[in-house]
Chains A and B, each alone.
Chain A
Amino acid sequence: MHGEPVRYVDMAAQAGLTAQMPNGGDGEKRWILETTGSGAAFFDYDADGLPDAFLVSGDGGSNRLYRNLGGGRFEDVTESAGLSSEGWGQGVCSGDFDNDGWPDLLVTYWGPNRLYRNVGGTRFERVPIPDRDRYSTGCAFLDVDKDGDLEVFIANYLVFEPASAPEPGANPYCFYRNLPVACGPRGLAFARNELLWNEGTGRFTDVSDSSGIASPSRNYSLGAVTGDFNADGWTDIYVACDRTPSILYINQGDGTFRDEAVLRGAAFDEHGEALSGMGIAVGDFDRDGHTDLFRTNFSDERSTLYHNRGNGDFDDVTVAVGMGVNTRFVGWGCAFLDADNDGWQDVLLVNGHVFPEVERLVDSDLSYRERSVLYRNLEGRRFEDISQQAGPGIAEPRAARGLALADVNGDGRLEVLINSQNEPPALLAQVGGSAGEWLVLQLEGRDSNRSAIGAIATVRTAGGTQRREVRSGGSYLSQHELRLHFGLGRDRTADVEVVWPSGVRQGIEGLIAGQAHTIREEHSGG
């Protein structure tokens, strides 16, 4: 599928996604808090089959819920849905924690986090959670013990209080290339991550300590995502960490987790150095059936691609696959996506420097607003940077942070929602290009959690086998739609097997390409 190249244009304004998303200073930033927000999500809150858009706001604005009206149009329903907000919003994730068929929402904050129950697809109400006042970032829903109820993982970045935080230039951790800038994360105290246990009665209990989630104590946690990385049937958690080793929580199968990132090769870069991890994408780029990781990092670093050896051990293959050439950008939101539907997952990342002050640098090719990067997957062997040919949507510079994917209009091509600092959102849609066949799967759990988080779908066609998992969290503090998208190349039918968290295996043969299919979990009894 390497004919006419994929091209993206920004359709946000035409689609009605117009609200400015404030996030601290634009010319300079005093606090690190102004640099980290915010995330974006696609989730179908009204279950009409059309993914809706949610954007998290920094201080001075409100989070926004845009209902997908179809035909590429959205309507701002924030107020009627009860989601008007204020404060320093950071991340977002989605999952149906009460299994009522209406996907719920968690929004993280510097301050109390907010868990919203979706009431009948019309409005949201806050649910109390045992949460302390923190600087929370990434989050994810996952069924830790496979009982059908979704637990909540929350990543916490660091301890920040404006009253005691040093000013730009106050100490050596408050400079960038000799410019005084917002201090941190180095020089600021570490925070620990949280796990809230779903008691199944609408109540959550903080099990951070007993579960081992709070054990890592020297990490600045940002993006988080779920996945069964060691293929043992239990959902694990990966956390991209800033200036510290990233965390790979391996689910021990007894309600506890252990961070095994270092020995498994997913904590550092290839030199054993902790990078500035921001966002995280999960996919199987070489279609070997194992879950690989892509993590965005800082400028003068490379984004990291970790190849899964099959048992949850990873090798850093960034340079080997051709992703070593880009070192300019500060990467945030990211995703594996099959942009041209050729059956091979490409990689998209959005960028934007942390410090607006870099504009003052002389003799530097860094800038605050940066273009995006699109890598085309060359059949699992290498990646080619096709950003320059990928249209104005990719070339446009932004101070981007959150990124979420969904097939907004049901055409089999994934749209890209980008939340940038102090800008209206972008909605990148494809124009032109020679795309292949496709298939979208919506999985619905019954014995397993209703959102099917942790379910794994394997799609077999004449062209090969692909595997995807339903995940919560991911990208940078963001949530992709939970439906699974497959590019099929020239194949027009596919056989599908779903392995549900409950252990049920379910096969469907001869699914027709070019459609979205809903697959409901069969009871283990049949």
Chain B
Amino acid sequence: MRASSTKAHAGAASEWPAPKTVTWPRTGRRRALASIGALLLLAAQPGRADRDLVEGLRLFEAGEYTRAAERFAASEDPRANTLEAVAKASIGQCQDALSDLSIRAAGPSDPYVSKLAALAVARCSIAEKRFDAGLSTLSELLKLQPEDPDVLYEIARLHLKGWNEAVAAMFAKAPASFRVNQLSAEIFEIQGRYDEAVREYRKAIEKAPATLNLRYRLGRAILMRSHEPSALEEALEQFRAELQLNPHDAVAEFQVGQILQVLGKAEEAMSHLERAVELDGEFPEALVALGKENARLQRHGRAIELLEKALELHPESEPAHYSLMLAYRNAGRRDDARRMQEALDRLQAPQEGEFSEFLRRIGEAP
């Protein structure tokens, strides 16, 4: 998939986080670590964990990190040094803690202690704006614990922090750049403030008229801004302008095709959809749209060929399954259509354990 085509798959709302400075959720941290502390206590064999370690963990759980560090320092338990460093890191004494933590995090000790150490290292690195070091530590930890929410959360936080830093720097150092307008527009889009998004995109385009993707994003913001049918023509103009800049943009071709369909210009739409598929033969949405258009024209063979390819590229696609089911049906291949319907049913069935399962249980019996 070429870079241009990824636009169709990435929703505007999911591409950028909000530009807020994220503060550390203190109570959340305490709760997460406290549970780990409890695990440590449980894991300790009777008599093995000394009183200082136990008391240190209790204080740590209570958020009294300075006193906890003191008790860990007094403990003879082999894990106590690491825990002391973790406690120090928790109150921002990273310089004191980092060297010990780095060793412990990488060492073959208790996995819970290693995780605590690695998380503390990452936090200290982030606090010192050494994002590469923090990311490196977390990436290693993620390999060991790929589903751990603490680790995933820290990674997300790290990216957010880095994003905030970069945004702040851009606004401070290049406030007149079109990139500032572009980013502002993208943020407004996320917030659903489409009028402002459109305004910022237009400013960006005025400053950098040859920049790719701006008109595409403007077109999308226009469509999101208004339900008026006139928005279709307005957006169409922008997608066409994007194509002027980059005639190889499959996604812009696709958007033009879609709008022309709604405007009742089926033949013209078809040529744009064909061009989108020509530019990117692995663009599932365009394949489905073109497949459906062929189906509408009773060109069953071509429709099925395109839709089967879309399904091959995106086996979980509900639109591809549905359109292929109808194409088979209309081609007289009823059994294949039923097979596709069964696959669609499976895709659309609520997952076990979801709230809907609860609803099914309390719903009416036949």
Chain B positions within 8 Å of A177 at CB level: 192
Chain B positions within 8 Å of A189 at CB level: 359, 362-364
A265 x B363 contact (CB < 8 A): no
B329 x A313 contact (CB < 8 A): yes
A264 CB → nearest B CB, Å: 8
A313 x B330 contact (CB < 8 A): yes
B366 x A209 contact (CB < 8 A): yes
Tell me if B344 is interfacial: C-beta within 8 Å of chain A: yes
B359 x A272 contact (CB < 8 A): no
A209 and B365 alpha carbons, distance in the complex (Å): 10
Chain A positions within 8 Å of B232 at CB level: 325
A509 and B122 alpha carbons, distance in the complex (Å): 89
B329 x A325 contact (CB < 8 A): no
A325 x B262 contact (CB < 8 A): yes
B262 x A190 contact (CB < 8 A): no
A263 and B328 alpha carbons, distance in the complex (Å): 10
Binds B, one of A17-25, A278-286, A315-323: A315-323
**Chain B interface, >50% SS class:** helix
Chain A positions within 8 Å of B338 at CB level: 263
Tell me if B360 is interfacial: C-beta within 8 Å of chain A: yes
Tell me if B50 is interfacial: C-beta within 8 Å of chain A: no
A192 x B364 contact (CB < 8 A): yes
A363 x B229 contact (CB < 8 A): no
Tell me if B321 is interfacial: C-beta within 8 Å of chain A: yes
Tell me if B292 is interfacial: C-beta within 8 Å of chain A: yes
Closest B residue, CB atoms, query A263: B341
B359 x A217 contact (CB < 8 A): no
CB under 8 Å from chain A, chain B span 313-338: 318-319, 321-323, 325-326, 329-330, 337-338
Tell me if A114 is interfacial: C-beta within 8 Å of chain B: no
A262 and B325 alpha carbons, distance in the complex (Å): 9
B296 x A320 contact (CB < 8 A): yes
Closest A residue, CB atoms, query B262: A324
A319 x B359 contact (CB < 8 A): no
Contact with A along B230-269 (1 / 0, CB 8 A): 0010000000000000000000000000000111101000
B121 CB → nearest A CB, Å: 36
Tell me if B193 is interfacial: C-beta within 8 Å of chain A: yes
- From B264, B325, B364, give the contact of A382 (CB < 8 A): B264
Tell me if A131 is interfacial: C-beta within 8 Å of chain B: no
Max chain A Cβ within 10 angstroms of own Cβ: one of B229, B323, B326: B326
Chain A positions within 8 Å of B364 at CB level: 159, 189-192, 217
- From A218, A309, A365, give the contact of B227 (CB < 8 A): A365
Chain A positions within 8 Å of B261 at CB level: 319-320, 324
B227 x A299 contact (CB < 8 A): yes
Given the known interface contacts A263-B341, A271-B322, A363-B195, the answer about A217 and B227 at a Cβ–Cβ threshold of 8 Å is: no
A191 and B292 alpha carbons, distance in the complex (Å): 34
Tell me if B283 is interfacial: C-beta within 8 Å of chain A: no
B286 CB → nearest A CB, Å: 14
Q: Number of contacting residues on A, CB 8 A?
A: 41
A187 x B330 contact (CB < 8 A): no
B228 x A365 contact (CB < 8 A): yes
Tell me if B153 is interfacial: C-beta within 8 Å of chain A: no
- From B263, B330, B362, B366, give the contact of A192 (CB < 8 A): B366
A497 and B329 alpha carbons, distance in the complex (Å): 33
Tell me if B355 is interfacial: C-beta within 8 Å of chain A: yes
Closest B residue, CB atoms, query A313: B329
Chain B positions within 8 Å of A322 at CB level: 264
B198 CB → nearest A CB, Å: 11
Tell me if B60 is interfacial: C-beta within 8 Å of chain A: no
Tell me if A215 is interfacial: C-beta within 8 Å of chain B: yes
Tell me if A129 is interfacial: C-beta within 8 Å of chain B: no
B227 x A328 contact (CB < 8 A): yes
B123 CB → nearest A CB, Å: 31
Tell me if B93 is interfacial: C-beta within 8 Å of chain A: no
A159 x B318 contact (CB < 8 A): no
Closest B residue, CB atoms, query A299: B227
A272 x B329 contact (CB < 8 A): no
CB under 8 Å from chain B, chain A span 306-340: 309, 313, 315, 317, 319-320, 322, 324-328
Chain B positions within 8 Å of A365 at CB level: 226-228
Tell me if A268 is interfacial: C-beta within 8 Å of chain B: yes
Chain B positions within 8 Å of A299 at CB level: 227
B34 CB → nearest A CB, Å: 28
B362 x A159 contact (CB < 8 A): yes
CB under 8 Å from chain B, chain A span 227-284: 262-263, 265, 268, 270-273
Tell me if B194 is interfacial: C-beta within 8 Å of chain A: yes
Given the known interface contacts A324-B261, A324-B262, A325-B262, the answer about A315 and B326 at a Cβ–Cβ threshold of 8 Å is: yes
A328 and B226 alpha carbons, distance in the complex (Å): 8
Closest A residue, CB atoms, query B191: A363
CB under 8 Å from chain B, chain A span 162-217: 177, 187-192, 208-209, 214-215, 217
Chain B positions within 8 Å of A313 at CB level: 329-330
Closest A residue, CB atoms, query B192: A363
Closest B residue, CB atoms, query A274: B348
B321 x A262 contact (CB < 8 A): no
A326 and B230 alpha carbons, distance in the complex (Å): 11
B227 x A327 contact (CB < 8 A): yes
- From B196, B321, B360, give the contact of A218 (CB < 8 A): B360
A328 CB → nearest B CB, Å: 3
Chain B positions within 8 Å of A208 at CB level: 366
Chain B positions within 8 Å of A270 at CB level: 292, 323
Given the known interface contacts A209-B366, A327-B227, A328-B227, the answer about A268 and B322 at a Cβ–Cβ threshold of 8 Å is: yes
B355 x A187 contact (CB < 8 A): yes
B329 x A188 contact (CB < 8 A): no
Contact with B along A43-58 (1 / 0, CB 8 A): 0000000000000000
Chain A positions within 8 Å of B227 at CB level: 299-300, 326-328, 365-366
Chain A positions within 8 Å of B321 at CB level: 272
Give 29 A-B contacts (CB < 8 Å), ordered by A residue: A159-B364, A187-B355, A189-B359, A189-B364, A190-B359, A190-B360, A190-B363, A209-B366, A214-B366, A215-B366, A217-B364, A217-B366, A218-B360, A270-B323, A272-B319, A272-B321, A272-B323, A273-B319, A299-B227, A300-B227, A315-B296, A319-B261, A319-B262, A320-B266, A326-B229, A328-B227, A363-B193, A363-B194, A366-B227
Closest 10 A/B residue pairs (Cβ) = A272-B322, A328-B227, A325-B229, A324-B262, A189-B363, A271-B319, A190-B363, A272-B318, A189-B359, A189-B362
Interface residues of A (CB under 8 A from B): 159, 177, 187-192, 208-209, 214-215, 217-218, 262-263, 265, 268, 270-273, 299-300, 309, 313, 315, 317, 319-320, 322, 324-328, 363, 365-366, 382, 385
Instruction: List 10 additional contacts besides A192-B364, A262-B325, A324-B262; criterion CB under 8 Å.
Output: A159-B364, A190-B359, A217-B364, A270-B292, A271-B319, A272-B325, A319-B261, A320-B261, A327-B227, A365-B226
Interface residues of B (CB under 8 A from A): 192-196, 226-229, 232, 261-264, 266, 292, 296, 318-319, 321-323, 325-326, 329-330, 337-338, 341, 344-345, 355, 359-360, 362-364, 366
